[in-house]
Amino acid sequence: MALVGGIEAGGTKFVCAIGDHTGEIRERVEIPTTFPAETMEEVIRFFHAYDIEALGIGSFGPIDVNRESPTYGFITSTPKQGWINYPIVSKMKEHFNVPIGFHTDVNAAALGEGTYGAAKGLDSCLYMTIGTGIGAGALVGGKLLQGHSHPEMGHILIRRHPEDYYQGKCPYHIDCFEGLAAGPAIEARYGMKANELEERSDVWELEAYYIAQALMNFILILSPQKIILGGGVMKQQQVFPKIRKQLETVLKGYVDTPNLQDYIVSPGLGNNSGIIGSLILAQQALHGKY
Amino acid sequence: MALVGGIEAGGTKFVCAIGDHTGEIRERVEIPTTFPAETMEEVIRFFHAYDIEALGIGSFGPIDVNRESPTYGFITSTPKQGWINYPIVSKMKEHFNVPIGFHTDVNAAALGEGTYGAAKGLDSCLYMTIGTGIGAGALVGGKLLQGHSHPEMGHILIRRHPEDYYQGKCPYHIDCFEGLAAGPAIEARYGMKANELEERSDVWELEAYYIAQALMNFILILSPQKIILGGGVMKQQQVFPKIRKQLETVLKGYVDTPNLQDYIVSPGLGNNSGIIGSLILAQQALHGKY
Ligand SMILES: Nc1ncnc2c1ncn2[C@@H]1O[C@H](COP(=O)(O)OP(=O)(O)O)[C@@H](O)[C@H]1O
Ligand SMILES: Nc1ncnc2c1ncn2[C@@H]1O[C@H](COP(=O)(O)OP(=O)(O)O)[C@@H](O)[C@H]1O
Ligand SMILES: [Zn+2]
Ligand SMILES: [Zn+2]
């Protein structure tokens, strides 16, 4: 039975795993993201212990996913020091001459959730992480969403709450969705760790206000069959009912959605959506599907 | 050679056409949209003169495009009098026992433009009409975008210009994108026909401000390879350069796009994007692809 490797490449850590065609994880390690030379050496050492026949990488971005491009397989304009224009795919290819699938971390997570998680059996879903940043990936018609490039949904423009005077934290757009609603924005607005704000219902009301607006736009544009919200901030389970309520308020019944209780949910695969999705990318690459 | 029929069903008129596999229109008529009994009788009479082997319908909406649903093929909650819950697909099926393809008018237009128009040869594009309402359709990975339902992109929430005091005209959301930027909103804001405002550059600057914001969100979510803007309002060619400029201002170089001059364009098929797309839907239905 063919073994494949998966890498969920994140700004804080790289998760590496070995799997087969079942979607189960056989081995799993976490390697801190420091500098490429150091991190990648450990990654490569891990996979050398196995006879993998394909590799899937779900990476932090922005990345170049256009197979015609000279910089295909690169992590491109990331703010993460040392990783700008890093050719992660060709680096792995030097050591493992196997087919390699390559997408964003959130697209990989959407694939994982659509195949084995909360959206299993559906041919469309949206996976969004709200953590240090905000990113989303989507399955559309059973395939990962990709056009000229990959989605960067965390940076859409939304309306500021009239009583929110926090300026915003996005280095590009200041008060885009990520700039107002990612973990660091919450922490800067209130001057406290997000997990220490647990009792402050106004904090999560405002957070839900922004998330609901973004979801409204995603629904009107993509009409996904399931919406999965992960990442550190979404550990605050109290946000979910607030999001559903605010979404009803803004949508005003204009479009039909599934029952919101079943529609807007936590990841079915817990913290493993991304790494399981990366293993599926490897399986797809093994079968010539990129 | 198989003849097929196409219907572009609009709130003002139905365009009906006969075509073959080449994408050329052989016959074309326009029938005013009055009440279903009257309009559909003429539509049916037109097609009875030909021996069509399939039919494609691109319809105003909202419509039910879910083939599992009991109301599949219905125009559903339209404000257009007489057409609420109108079963257009089964009505045509009573008279023509042929395969029928059914999508929104704007999805049909995206398909037309992606196959023979401005986005020919690309596997993704966005088609948006800005007229009496605002609607958009998209090709993603070569297929029409559809999830739980069809997109309703005209109703996304965008930020109001700080100096725009017009309240908005959407009966659902008041000041969503359509409520602020469709033709009737322009006319209500200034108390004049939109085409009589041609000389007023402030009018088109504000219009471009709203369109650029919406495009930013569409790009960050869908990353289409081409953006095609049609409909009555976009006859004001002066809006195009303003949109491109404002889009650069809001995107702030965060994502890579093709050169905006070639990226944001008028329909390659003129007024025929929708009807040609409907003929392609018919061809697809003939070959079992829905
Ligand atoms: N229990 C929690 N409650 C609220 N916010 C949290 C919690 N845990 C982490 N966060 C927030 O999530 C962010 C980290 O996101 P996470 O998804 O864990 O990592 P990353 O996005 O870096 O992969 C932190 O900035 C913090 O603000
Ligand atoms: N030359 C023009 N310049 C600006 N706006 C126009 C022009 N022609 C039509 N419009 C606007 O477009 C709207 C009609 O849109 P159109 O796309 O022609 O029809 P529909 O959306 O009903 O199919 C009108 O409300 C009008 O405001
Ligand atoms: Zn941003
Ligand atoms: Zn609206």
What ligand 1 atom has the least distance to the C-alpha of A132? 21
Tokens 């795919």 -> residue: A89
Residue B235 lies in a domain: yes
Q: Would you call B159 helix, strand, or coil by DSSP?
A: coil
Task: Quick: pLDDT tens for A218-266.
Answer: 999 999 999 999 999 999 999 999 999 999 999 999 998 999 999 999 9
**pLDDT band per the 50, 70, 90 thresholds, residue B77:** confident
- Which residues in chain A touch residue B216, judged by CB atoms under 8 angstroms apart? 156-157
From the CB of B188, is ligand 2 less than 6 Å away?
no
- Which residues in chain B touch residue A124, judged by CB atoms under 8 angstroms apart? 147-148
- Name the residue among B246, B84, B250, B220 with its Cα closest to residue B156: B220
pLDDT of B80 reads: 85
Give the full edge-to-edge strand order of the sheet including A52-59.
Answer: A25-32, A13-19, A3-9, A52-59, A100-104
Mean pLDDT of chain B: 96
Give yes or no: residues A123 and A258 share one domain: yes
- Counting one residue from A and one from B, how many pairs have CB atoms under 8 Å apart? 123
From the CB of B12, is ligand 2 less than 6 Å away?
yes
Q: Provide the residues around ligand 4 (an ion) whose CB is within 5 A.
A: B 155, 170, 172-173, 176
Give yes or no: residues A190 and A58 share one domain: no
Give yes or no: residues A181 and A90 share one domain: no
pLDDT of B204 reads: 98
Residue B56 lies in a domain: yes
* One-letter amino acid of A252: K
- Which residues in chain A touch residue B217, judged by CB atoms under 8 angstroms apart? 156-157, 217, 221
Residue B112 lies in a domain: no
For B227, the domain range is 118-266
| Mutation choice for ligand 1 from A195, A203, A228, A238, CB with most ligand atoms inside 8 A | A195
CATH code where residue A13 lies: 3.30.420.40
Give yes or no: residues A125 and A262 share one domain: yes
From the CB of B267, is ligand 2 less than 6 Å away?
no
Residue B33 lies in a domain: yes
**pLDDT band per the 50, 70, 90 thresholds, residue B78:** confident
A179 CA to centre of ligand 2 in angstroms: 37
Alpha helix segments (H runs only) across B105-190: 105-116, 177-181, 183-190
Task: Quick: pLDDT tens for B43-62.
Answer: 999 999 999 999 999 999 89
Task: Quick: pLDDT tens for B214-265.
Answer: 999 999 999 999 999 999 999 999 999 999 999 999 999 999 899 999 999 9
- Please indicate whether, in this complex, the C-beta atoms of A256 and B148 are within 8 angstroms of each other: yes
Tokens 């025929």 -> residue: B272
Give yes or no: residues A145 and A251 share one domain: yes
Tally the residues of chain A. 290
Q: Which protein residue's CA is at the shortest distance from atom 24 of ligand 2?
A: B183
The number of folded domains in chain B is 2
Give yes or no: residues A164 and A261 share one domain: yes
Give yes or no: residues A122 and A253 share one domain: yes
Tokens 């609420």 -> residue: B84
Residue A110 lies in a domain: no
Q: Would you call A84 helix, strand, or coil by DSSP?
A: coil
Task: Quick: pLDDT tens for B83-128.
Answer: 999 999 999 999 999 999 999 999 999 999 999 999 999 999 999 9
Give yes or no: residues B69 and B144 share one domain: no
Give yes or no: residues A22 and A148 share one domain: no
CA atoms of B280 and B290, how far apart (whole Å): 11
Q: Which two tokens stand for residue A203?
A: 């904090």
ipTM over 0.85: yes
CB < 8 Å from A in window 160-179 of B: 160, 172-173
The string of DSSP codes covering B176-192 is: SHHHHHSHHHHHHHHTS
CA atoms of B43 and B53, how far apart (whole Å): 16
Give yes or no: residues A235 and A260 share one domain: yes
Mean pLDDT of chain A: 96
Residue among B76, B156, B260 with most chain A CBs within 10 A, to mutate: B156
Give yes or no: residues B165 and B186 share one domain: yes
Residue A1 has pLDDT above 80, yes or no: no
- Please indicate whether, in this complex, the C-beta atoms of B173 and A145 are within 8 angstroms of each other: no
Is residue B142 within 8 A of residue B284, CB to CB? The reply is: no
Residue B52 lies in a domain: yes
Give yes or no: residues A167 and A133 share one domain: yes
- Please indicate whether, in this complex, the C-beta atoms of B152 and A220 are within 8 angstroms of each other: yes
pTM equals 0.97
- Please indicate whether, in this complex, the C-beta atoms of B222 and A221 are within 8 angstroms of each other: yes
Residue A222 lies in a domain: yes
Residue B110 lies in a domain: no
- Please indicate whether, in this complex, the C-beta atoms of A217 and B157 are within 8 angstroms of each other: yes
